[in-house]
Structure 1
Amino acid sequence: MKVIHNLTGFWLLALVAALFTTGCSTVYYDTMEKLGYEKRDILVDRVEDARDAQSDAQETFRSSLARFQSVVDTPDTELKARYEEIRDAYEESQESAEEVRDRIESVEDVSEALFEEWEDELDLYESASLRRSSERQLRDTREQYEKLIGRMHKAESRMEPVLQAFEDQVLYLKHNLNAQAIGALESELGRIRSDVDALIRNMEASIAESEAFIRRFQNP
């Protein structure tokens, strides 16, 4: 019986996940609530996922920058191998950026549902004092959320210039496997490094904001 129960739970969760990925957010949240997962719990989970995705992206972009830097000291005879390495670094950075974007979108999706539900339920209170207290909590939570999502989007916006610079270098090196290409890459590295540093700082601020938001929800 235990095996059957576990299998049933597995397929139910798989169905719920399928509903979410196909865009049926309302059905997804309603089903999760019946399973004991409130929107606030899902929001915290997704903020944690977004935080982790940004942390992983930091490391990916740092590693990619180091791989681009290594090309500068490469002899012409080894440029083809180095080209393949920085092409892989660029593709990995793209994947990390896409993961961050997806996680931010999922945070926005559940937060919209949560705040809409919270707003609607204010009208259900009989007690005026409890209603005012809940309304104040809603306002404070919304303010902190807006600060959080703003930080996330600021960090997200810093990824595109870095990705574009990486792509430019990959394309140039692809068609110019010689010392001239190395010189062009070296002249751009300072700007790329500056962009990566700005990206890392913004992600660190976003991660810190995520931690504060999570603490607030776990210890209201």
Structure 2
Amino acid sequence: MRSLILVALALTLGACSNVYYDAMEKVGVHKRDILVDRVEAARDTQSETKEQFLTAMEQFRQVVDFSGGDLEREYLRLDATLQRSERGAAEVRERIDAVEAVSEALFDEWRTELEQYSSDHLRAESQRKYDATRVRYARLIASMQAAEEKLEPVLVPLRDQVLFMKHNLNARAIAGLSGELARVQVNVDRLVRDMDEAIAEADRFIATLQQ
């Protein structure tokens, strides 16, 4: 529920706006809290998108192995799955952008506030935590971006195959797509591997922020 409220407020006030962050501060939700929520949302979106791409791959395999029935219906199913995969990929990109926006604001604020300490000991301790969090965040965002970069190499051949099917709805023509199946599978395997790593990295990052 809290995540839904944050999303609604972000849409209203603008996710990258200082006005948004200031408004959230006034109700007791700090940038660190927003970052955790956005990392969780990005992680969940990546998980859902991974499953969507696995579904698309399975449907593509079924079409290539078509052995009778309504071929047009199979095409329509695959096309609908491709469209959902496209939307999932776009949402993954948007979630990563949102994580980057709030993290930049958080680290800028943290760096500025380091100068406000009168205690050298407390400043050094906060600096240590800042540096460690930056390192963990760098791993997180690199992992998320690596997974995101694998989306388009999967989408490109799937778009091609769906377009080909649109104009060649006969079993002999569809059988000719079998040569593409292995290439698409390799890209999907890479995507799933990187998505799994990004999801695990997100879990680790969230755990460290909540300690």
Find the partner of 2:13 among 1, 11, 19: 19
Letter in 1 for 2:149: S
Q: List runs of 5+ in structure 1 lacking aligned partners.
A: 1-10
Find the partner of 1:150 among 113, 135, 142: 142
Structure 1 residues 87-126: aligned runs within 5 Å:
87-126=79-118
Could you tell me which residue of structure 1 aligns to residue 65 of structure 2? 73
Cα 1:15–1:97, aligned 2, differ >3 Å: closer, same or farther?
closer
Could you tell me which residue of structure 1 aligns to residue 29 of structure 2? 37
The answer as to whether partners of 2:42 and 2:95 remain within 8 angstroms in 1 is yes
CA distance in 2, matches of 1:74, 1:190: 16
Could you tell me which residue of structure 1 aligns to residue 48 of structure 2? 56
Could you tell me which residue of structure 2 aligns to residue 198 of structure 1? 190
Could you tell me which residue of structure 2 aligns to residue 5 of structure 1? none
Aligned residues: 207
Scaled by the length of structure 1, the TM-score of the pair is 0.89
CA distance in 2, matches of 1:15, 1:201: 33
The answer as to whether partners of 1:61 and 1:196 remain within 8 angstroms in 2 is yes
Which one has the largest radius of gyration? 1
Could you tell me which residue of structure 2 aligns to residue 179 of structure 1? 171
The answer as to whether partners of 1:16 and 1:31 remain within 8 angstroms in 2 is no
Structure that is richer in helix per residue: 1
The answer as to whether partners of 1:43 and 1:107 remain within 8 angstroms in 2 is yes
Using the TM superposition, name which of 90-99 and 73-82 deviates more. Answer: 73-82
The alpha-carbon deviation at position 85 of structure 1 amounts to: 1.1
Scaled by the length of structure 2, the TM-score of the pair is 0.93
Structure 1 residues 132-147: aligned runs within 5 Å:
132-147=124-139
The alpha-carbon deviation at position 77 of structure 1 amounts to: 5.8
RMSD over equivalenced CA pairs, Å: 1.9
**Which secondary structure does the structure 2 equivalent of 1:74 belong to?**
coil
CA distance in 2, matches of 1:50, 1:14: 16
The alpha-carbon deviation at position 14 of structure 1 amounts to: 5.6
Could you tell me which residue of structure 2 aligns to residue 4 of structure 1? none
CA distance in 2, matches of 1:171, 1:152: 29
Find the partner of 1:168 among 153, 160, 169: 160
The alpha-carbon deviation at position 216 of structure 1 amounts to: 0.2
The alpha-carbon deviation at position 20 of structure 1 amounts to: 1.5
Q: List runs of 5+ in structure 2 lacking aligned partners.
A: none
The alpha-carbon deviation at position 76 of structure 1 amounts to: 6.5
Cα 1:52–1:145, aligned 2, differ >3 Å: closer, same or farther?
same
**Which secondary structure does the structure 2 equivalent of 1:205 belong to?**
helix
Using the TM superposition, name which of 103-112 and 175-184 deviates more. Answer: 175-184
CA distance in 2, matches of 1:54, 1:218: 21
CA distance in 1, matches of 2:62, 2:70: 11
